[in-house]
Amino acid sequence: MTPGSVTDRFVGDLPVTDAEGAAALVADDATVLTSGFGSVGYPKAVPLAMAEADRDRSLTVVSGGTVGDEIDTDLLETGAIDRRFPYQGTRAARDAVNEGSVAYGDRHVGGVADEVSFGLLADADVAVVEAVAVGEDWLVPSTSVGQTPAFVEAAPRLIVEVNRAQPLELARFHDVYRPSAPPDRDPIPLSAPDGRIGDPFVPFDPERLVAVVETDRPDSPYEFRDPTDDDLAIARHLADFLADEVTRNPVLAESVNLQFGVGSLGNALMGELSGLDVGDRTLGYFGEVIQDGLLDLADRGHLAYASATSLALSRDGQRRLFDDLDRYATEFVLRPTDVSNSPALVDRFGVVAVNSALEVDVYGHANSTHVDGSRVINGVGGSGDFTRNALVSVLALPSTASDGAVSRVVPMVPHVDHTEHDVDVIVTEHGVADLRGLSPRERAAAVVERCADPSVRPALEAYLDRADEGGGHEPHDLDTAFDWR
């Protein structure tokens, strides 16, 4: 099968049923694997039918990444979900996790395919995935690929939602390749970020297909806020840093491959880099999500290609993409997460990774997930996959929160997602701290001077002076580290 040969939604003798019939096939205590990444490409009708059924469920739900309200609000609020992996993105899910009513395991999404495939995270009972077309032994994913290939392979039973709201032409974006299993895993044979090594479809054992459901419910699109003045200042500082980096870093002599984290800041940074001068170098993207900002770069002729696992677009972004699928399909490619987030490929292509954080400390440790070290927001997602393995790892964030009342540059972060060893550069609206080649005391001085808000610099400097009295390689005043704010 080739991408252009996908012309029918349903091919062959399939067990077509309605959403209620498919939902009834899911055991009350099942471990359910769902498609979806970046709030797109997830099943909608079957989770809603499960939510509306009068059954006492205790499900474990494992998704590829962020999914929509149908799973993490409607189904969750019925009390049907007991355990949740590896990422969640709704207020209802966040509240349930922080209250302790849902047991949540935050995972680096790049490793979830292996953890599920080898039974290290949960023993799968059924996979419920969205597609734009299905045959007797294949399906074509919709707006995300995510963990779908691994989930379909791991689950003994398969339910497929075929969504007519998603264009069939999405098949042209997909490059489905499954890495082999350790200890004999071969290198992923991708030699260029925009290359293709797989198929537009996900194969499966036809004996596992138990239900096919037809739907026409669209994704819940991202709602990106307008860039703030701080966002624009961060973008200017980032562009200045990148323009300098490409001239002095020999790895970037011919091409520059960027990655940006999911969300409004990352989207704003993408969109504001149209003035970035990379000379005659090729500018590309190798990351997790294609957001509206990448469409802007591509439409202005600044972006040669983009490789990701999800089309995490706003409603307007989806309309733009769907209205010009022929062109975007030549520039964009969607891969499984264990390929898009592969440490080997991030290293191979010399990716410059730009992610955000809730806060950073003076030595470069970053907290991306937990307010006050305790209350989870969403999850670490794929930021660690890129931060740890990138050629250059950048963290970009505003220096303050709550209208300036809270500093996001602190003496010690109360929860660590990315250690000082994995963070090369910090950017705020005030400037850039390049931490490469610096000792801890030198890093602290750079972060405070160049990234902290001027209103808190004297207090941070006083903290460092007090900490230095105790000596040590990375001095801290533990008695006051968390009282500082």
* Residues with a known catalytic role: 288
Closest CA to 30 of 193, 205, 201, 159: 159
| Burial environment of residue 377 by CB neighbours within 10 A (0 to 12, 13 to 18, 19 or more) | middle
CA 119 to chain centre: 23
Residues in CB range of 105: below 8 A, 6 or more apart:
83, 84, 85, 86, 121
Q: Are 341 and 309 in contact (CB under 8 A)?
A: yes
The residue behind tokens 């080898």 is: 118
Q: Are 340 and 317 in contact (CB under 8 A)?
A: no
The 3-state secondary structure of 19-85, one letter per residue: HHHHHCCCCCCCEEEECCECCECCCCHHHHHHHHCCCCCCEEEEECCCCCHHHHHHHHHHCCEEEEE
Q: Residue 110: count other Cβ atoms within 10 Å of its Cβ.
A: 25
Q: Are 355 and 395 in contact (CB under 8 A)?
A: yes
Residue 272's identity, in one-letter code, is E
Residues in CB range of 4: below 8 A, 6 or more apart:
172
Give, rounded to a whole angstrom, the gap between the first and last alpha carbons of the chain. Answer: 59
Angle between helices 457-468 and 440-450 (to 10 degrees): 160
Give the ranges where 249-336 is alpha helix by DSSP (H). 264-271, 292-299, 315-323, 325-331
SS3 274: helix
Q: Where are the beta strands (DSSP E) in 362-419?
A: 366-367, 370-371, 375-376, 392-396, 400-401, 406-407, 409-410
